[in-house]
């Protein structure tokens, strides 16, 4: 059955609910002081509703929790961080009036900074609620190309401002999926509806919805103004991180490697069809950091590669792949289906990718 007791970290967040209300943010029912599990009867018996009740969904992260912005009922994410760390400073830099309007800025917008008088060593950063990259995965090669272009320009923009992310892996890149789902996904279980009533139905692709915008999140181990750094934290085991935590390395070339591995994991490990991107991935993931291109060089390389691809290729579908399940016949059949789809859509206008939604309001 679902847990009718809060964990220690959930209790900590629940104690903040009063302060957050005064700042204009409301936590889910589970974290309200007067919460009682909705699936437990008056006599104290568990019911089967514990498997589906929204307030049975527990917290997965210790520093992050979702909330509702009270004045417009918009979901947001809260992150509890040290006040003197680089994370608030970096987020505030890229959300400053001068930088937040730049099209190439793909750092998650910072909506608010909350200072709790009872916790003077920390602040709570407020961000928009974003969706995971695989909810759903890109459907076409063109959508893969769009992802590569946006993330490369975003990485180059960070590097131009002397910020290295140092953990720009698949889990730390998310998408603004408002056009696809209208905020109807649950922040903890993104495959379910926001109210927990059932599974989230995917009715449209990125292209059909007018395009999505990608954002880098989590600057917890990022550095600013440092050409060489120490430390082996992060989700991707880059070659330089295996040398030990006392060997300095270039954090900007580390970012290039990590993002290259993100492309490989997203488009080539579990899918087939985007092999034309492989030369870029190989260049970005060279073992020797000194031989890797910069983020700006990657943009130039990818731009030259893209010039050789036809609209037919970009319309092709990215297909799921499991080792041992693909043979000559299935490959031929899938390629034939792609060719027929391209033939029947020849002459039709390409779906126009709309500009990003208006900036998140702070």
Instruction: Give 321's pLDDT tier (boundaries 50, 70, 90).
Output: confident
Query: Each residue of 181-200: pLDDT tens digit?
Result: 877 889 998 888 888 888 88
Instruction: Give 328's pLDDT tier (boundaries 50, 70, 90).
Output: very low
Task: Give residue 293's pLDDT.
Answer: 98
Of 1 and 186, the structure prediction assigns the larger pLDDT to 186
- Confirm if 53 and 153 have CB atoms less than 8 A apart: no
Q: Is the pLDDT of residue 332 over 50?
A: no
Taking each continuous run of H as one helix and of E as one strand, the counts in the chain are 10, 11
Q: Whole-angstrom Cα distance, residue 185 to residue 175?
A: 13
Q: Whole-angstrom Cα distance, residue 314 to residue 316?
A: 5
Buried b or exposed e, range 304-328, using 16+ CB within 10 angstroms? eeeeeeeeebbbbbbbeeeeeeeee
State which of 270-279, 285-294, 320-329 shows the largest mean pLDDT. Answer: 285-294
Determine what percent of the chain is predicted with pLDDT higher than 90: 67
Q: Is the pLDDT of residue 349 over 60?
A: no
Task: Give residue 199's pLDDT.
Answer: 87
Q: Whole-angstrom Cα distance, residue 246 to residue 262?
A: 26
Task: Give residue 336's pLDDT.
Answer: 46
Residue 345 in tokens: 């859509």
Q: Is the pLDDT of residue 70 over 70?
A: yes
Helix (H, G, I), strand (E, B), or coil: what is residue 132?
A: coil
Comparing CA positions, the residue from 80, 22, 30, 72 lying closest to residue 186 is 30
Average pLDDT of the segment spanning 99-105: 96
Determine what percent of the chain is predicted with pLDDT higher than 70: 86
Task: Give residue 94's pLDDT.
Answer: 98
Task: Give residue 325's pLDDT.
Answer: 54
Query: Each residue of 143-169: pLDDT tens digit?
Result: 999 999 999 999 999 999 999 999 999
Task: Give residue 148's pLDDT.
Answer: 98
Query: Each residue of 222-248: pLDDT tens digit?
Result: 999 999 999 999 999 999 999 989 999
Average pLDDT of the segment spanning 23-52: 84
Q: Is the pLDDT of residue 357 over 90?
A: no
Q: Is the pLDDT of residue 343 over 70?
A: no
- Cβ atoms within 10 A of the Cβ of 300, count? 12
Task: Give residue 201's pLDDT.
Answer: 84
DSSP letter assigned to residue 108:
P
Q: Which sign does the torsion angle of CA 82, 131, 26, 46 carry?
A: negative
Comparing CA positions, the residue from 34, 69, 76 lying closest to residue 55 is 34
- Global model pTM greater than 0.95: no
- Confirm if 84 and 120 have CB atoms less than 8 A apart: no
Secondary structure (DSSP) of 267-279: IIISEES-GGGHH
Residue 263 in tokens: 């492309």
Give the least confident one: 193-202, 260-269, 345-354: 345-354
Average pLDDT of the segment spanning 341-355: 43
Task: Give residue 221's pLDDT.
Answer: 97
Query: Each residue of 282-313: pLDDT tens digit?
Result: 999 999 999 999 999 999 999 999 999 999 89
Q: Is the pLDDT of residue 333 over 60?
A: no
Average pLDDT of the segment spanning 17-42: 93
Average pLDDT of the segment spanning 24-37: 95
Q: Is the pLDDT of residue 344 over 80?
A: no
Element (H, E) at 215: strand 213-216
Helix (H, G, I), strand (E, B), or coil: what is residue 77?
A: strand
């Amino acid at each position: 059955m679902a847990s009718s007791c809060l964990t220690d970290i959930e209790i900590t967040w629940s104690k903040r609910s009063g302060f957050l209300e005064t700042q204009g943010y409301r936590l889910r029912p589970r974290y309200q002081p007067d919460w009682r599990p909705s699936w437990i009867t008056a006599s104290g018996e568990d019911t089967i509703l514990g498997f589906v009740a929204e307030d049975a969904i527990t917290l997965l992260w210790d520093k992050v929790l979702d909330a509702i912005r009270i004045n417009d009922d918009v979901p947001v994410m809260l992150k509890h961080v040290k006040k003197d760390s680089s994370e608030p400073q970096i987020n505030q830099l890229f959300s400053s009036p001068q930088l937040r309007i730049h099209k190439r800025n793909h750092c998650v917008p910072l909506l608010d900074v909350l200072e709790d008088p009872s916790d003077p060593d920390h602040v709570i950063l407020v961000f928009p609620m974003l969706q995971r990259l695989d909810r759903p995965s890109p459907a076409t090669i063109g959508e893969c190309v769009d992802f590569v272009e946006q993330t490369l320009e975003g990485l180059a923009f960070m590097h131009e401002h002397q910020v290295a992310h140092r953990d720009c892996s698949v889990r730390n890149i998310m998408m603004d999926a408002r056009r696809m789902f209208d905020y109807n996904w649950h922040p903890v279980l993104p495959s379910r509806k926001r109210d927990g009533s059932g599974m989230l139905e995917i009715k449209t692709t990125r292209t059909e919805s007018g395009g999505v915008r990608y954002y880098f999140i989590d600057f917890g181990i990022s550095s600013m103004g440092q050409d060489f750094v120490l430390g082996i934290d992060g989700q991707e085991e880059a070659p330089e991180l295996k040398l030990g935590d006392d060997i300095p390395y270039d954090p900007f070339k580390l970012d290039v490697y990590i993002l290259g591995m993100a492309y490989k994991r997203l488009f080539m490990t579990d899918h087939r069809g985007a092999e034309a991107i492989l030369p870029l991935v190989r260049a970005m993931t060279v073992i020797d950091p000194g031989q890797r291109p910069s983020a700006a060089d990657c943009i130039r390389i990818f731009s030259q590669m893209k010039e050789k691809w036809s609209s037919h290729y970009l319309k092709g579908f990215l297909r799921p792949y499991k080792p041992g399940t693909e043979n000559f016949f299935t490959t031929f059949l899938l390629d034939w289906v792609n060719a027929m789809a391209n033939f029947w859509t020849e002459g039709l206008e390409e779906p126009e990718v709309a500009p990003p939604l208006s900036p998140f309001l702070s």
